[in-house]
Amino acid sequence: MNGQKIKRRVGKYDVGRTIGEGTFSKVKFARNSQTGEPVALKILDKEKVLKYMMAEQIQREIATMKLIKHPNVVQLYEVMGSKTKIYIILEFVTGGELFDKILNNGRMSEKEGRRYFQQLINAVDYCHSRGVYHRDLKLENLLLDDSGNLKISDFGLSALSQQIRDDGLLHTTCGTPNYVAPEVLNDVGYDGAAADLWSCGVILFALLAGYLPFDDSNVLNLYKKISAAEFTCPPWLSFSARKLITKILDPNPMTSVFLIFHNHMVLNVREKKEEQPTPMNAFELISLSKGLNLENLFDIDQGFKREIRFTSKCPAKEIINKIEEAAKPLGFDVQKKNFKMKLENLKAGRKGNLNVATEIFQVAPSFHMVKVHKEKGDTLEFLKFYNKLSTCLEDVVWKTEDDVEDTK
């Protein structure tokens, strides 16, 4: 032999060093020989997969990742196989785990934590929109690319919407104990979206605190703490961050913002109803839930508001009609499309014609959130218009943002 190492190739990929190893798989660095692009090559031994009855889990992971194409989710490029191996070609992510970042550097500032939490929630919400529930969200499964952007990985325990039973729930207990939602532990069936979002709450706590909210060397004690949501926020967290975390890590189904979302979505799946307003996604429900002020945690313009929200228990069509009846006498032209409205003041103001957009979102079958947003014109004129409008909508408005603030 000439002493030269023979380069191994799988398909069009030149295979290099091992970068990770597990019970059933090995991950190697590889490079696309045609494009030069680096990839992660996950190699699974077929014999081991069958021996440990992992075939269904592997198939589910592949099926799941094929559905997901999002900038904050590790991308699956292709799957290949030989007589003895399964090869999964994945995006190569170089920045390590978010877990290591916390372990090495400690807790994050709220500004930095906000960035990662927003990326996480956006990706999770996208997965849910495709009928995919991760079910094992934790710091170790959140990777960072070379630009510091978050990437969700490891969909081995994920569930697809086809696995939901007739009761609208999932029933397999899985996940990492510290991150698992109470309803998963209770073994009575759970909503995959709500369970994932509980895990997101645990992750947010860990980012801002530097440690996990639920931890105990005794597993039974750990489960008791989780079931009762027994945790204490550290004193350095802002009021807004504490309020958000407490709202997410709420074990009471009657007050959980996620249960409202879940019940609404299940109802829509079960019943073919007439056209309804857009359902609010879970992230919006978090940020708009009663008594919750996110100004310190999320980037919201200070000063005059350009967007005002109120809630209503009236039917959506009634809200639309009431807004139209109130806006026309104030000199506004009204255009309606589905559950969105464009209101334009025919008389020019200080900064031209005031244009206002409204949209109705369905939070639950008999509960709506209405956004009133200034698109064009003077902000002070917009606020004056809204004050007049709200006077005409007294029998429609249930609570405004100001009402919510007053209840704190």
Q: Is 42 annotated as a binding residue?
A: yes
Could you name the CATH architecture of 301-406?
2-Layer Sandwich (3.30)
In the chain, the N- to C-terminal Cα span, in Å, equals 78
Distance, in Å, from the CA atom of 158 to the CA atom of 140, rounded to the nearest integer, reads: 15
328 C-beta neighbours (distance < 10 Å), count: 12
Q: In the predicted model, is pLDDT for residue 83 greater than 70?
A: yes
For residue 319, which amino acid is it? I
In the three-class reduction of DSSP (H, G, I as helix; E, B as strand; rest coil), residue 32 is classed as strand
Q: What is the pLDDT of residue 257?
A: 52
pLDDT in tens, 195-222: 888 899 999 999 999 999 999 888 889 9
Q: Are strands 399-400 and 307-312 parallel, antiparallel or unpaired?
A: antiparallel
Greater model confidence, 176 or 161: 176
Q: Could you tell me the residue ranges of all domains in the chain?
A: 8-91, 98-286, 301-406
Distance, in Å, from the CA atom of 15 to the CA atom of 28, rounded to the nearest integer, reads: 7
Residues marked as catalytic: 136
pLDDT in tens, 335-353: 988 888 999 988 888 888 8
In eight-state DSSP terms, residue 162 is G
**Measured on CA atoms in the order 244, 245, 247, 248, is the torsion positive or negative?**
positive
When computed from its CA atoms, the radius of gyration of the chain, rounded to whole angstroms, is 25
CATH of 8-91, one of 3.30.200.20, 3.20.20.70, 3.30.1370.30, 3.50.50.60: 3.30.200.20
Superfamily of domain 98-286: Transferase(Phosphotransferase) domain 1 (1.10.510.10)
pTM beyond 0.85: the answer is no
In eight-state DSSP terms, residue 97 is B
Q: What is the pLDDT of residue 6?
A: 52
Q: What is the pLDDT of residue 342?
A: 93
**Could you please report the per-residue DSSP string of 339-354?**
TEEEEEESS-BBTBS-
